Amino acid sequence: MERTNDSLLTEFVLVGLSAHPKLQTVFFVLVLWMYLMILLGNGVLISVIIYDSHLHTPMYFFLCNLSFLDICYTTSSVPLILDSFLTGRKRVSLSGCMVQMFLSFAMGATECVILGMMALDRYVAICYPLRYPIIMSKGTYVPMAAGSWVAGLVDSVVQTSLTTQLPFCANNVINHFVCEILAILKLACADISINVISMAGSNLIVLVIPLLVISISYVFIVATILRIPSTEGKCKAFSTCSAHLTVVIIFYGTIFFMYTKPKSKNSVGTDNQDIVEALISLFCGVMTPMLNPLIYSVRNKDVKTAMKNMLGRKNFSEGI
Closest CA to 121 of 287, 288, 241: 241
CA distances from 229 to 226, 233, 235, 236, 237 (A): 8, 7, 11, 12, 12
CA distance 162 to 158: 6
Which CA distances in Å does 76 have to 96, 183, 201, 236, 273? 11, 17, 24, 38, 24
Quote the CA–CA distance of 23 and 194 in Å, as a whole number.
Answer: 38
Measured CA to CA, the distance from residue 148 to residue 205 in angstroms comes to: 11
Q: Within 10 A of 142 (CB to CB), how many other CB atoms are there?
A: 12
Q: What is the DSSP string of 13-47?
A: EE-TTTT-HHHHHHHHHHHHHHHHHHHHHHHHHHH
DSSP H or E segment with residue 251? helix 231-260
Largest CA distance in the chain: 74
Per-residue pLDDT of the chain (320 residues; tens, 9 = 90+): 444 444 467 788 887 665 667 777 888 888 899 999 999 999 999 999 998 888 899 999 999 999 999 999 999 988 888 887 777 667 888 888 899 999 999 998 999 999 999 999 999 999 999 999 999 999 999 999 999 999 999 999 999 999 988 888 777 888 777 888 888 888 888 888 999 999 889 889 998 999 999 999 999 999 999 998 888 888 888 888 888 888 888 888 877 776 655 555 454 455 556 566 667 777 777 888 898 888 887 767 778 777 777 776 655 455 55
Instruction: Report how far apart, in Å, the C-alpha atoms of 3 and of each of 10, 88, 188, 192 are.
Output: 14, 25, 11, 17
Pairing between strand 90-93 and 11-14? Answer: antiparallel
Neighbours of 172 (CB within 10 A): 18
Query: What is the predicted pLDDT for the residue at 38?
Result: 94
Angle at 119 between CA 118 and CA 121, to 5 degrees: 65
- Bridge-based pairing of strands 11-14 and 173-174 is parallel
Smallest CA-to-CA distance from 155 within 82, 204, 94, 120 is with 204
- Contact criterion met (CB below 8 Å) for 175 and 274: yes
pLDDT of residue 282: 73
**Among 283, 284, 235, 229, which residue's Cα sits nearest to residue 255?**
284
Rounded CA separation 121/59 (Å): 7
Phi, psi of 304 (to 5 degrees): -60, -45
Confidence (pLDDT) at 214: 95
Q: Quick one: which H or E segment has residue 80?
A: helix 78-87
pTM of the model: 0.86
- The answer to whether residues 297 and 243 touch, using CB atoms and an 8 Å cutoff, is no
Query: What is the Cα–Cα distance from 34 to 26, expressed in whole angstroms?
Result: 13
SS3 breakdown of the chain: % helix, strand, coil, rounded to 5? Answer: 75, 5, 20
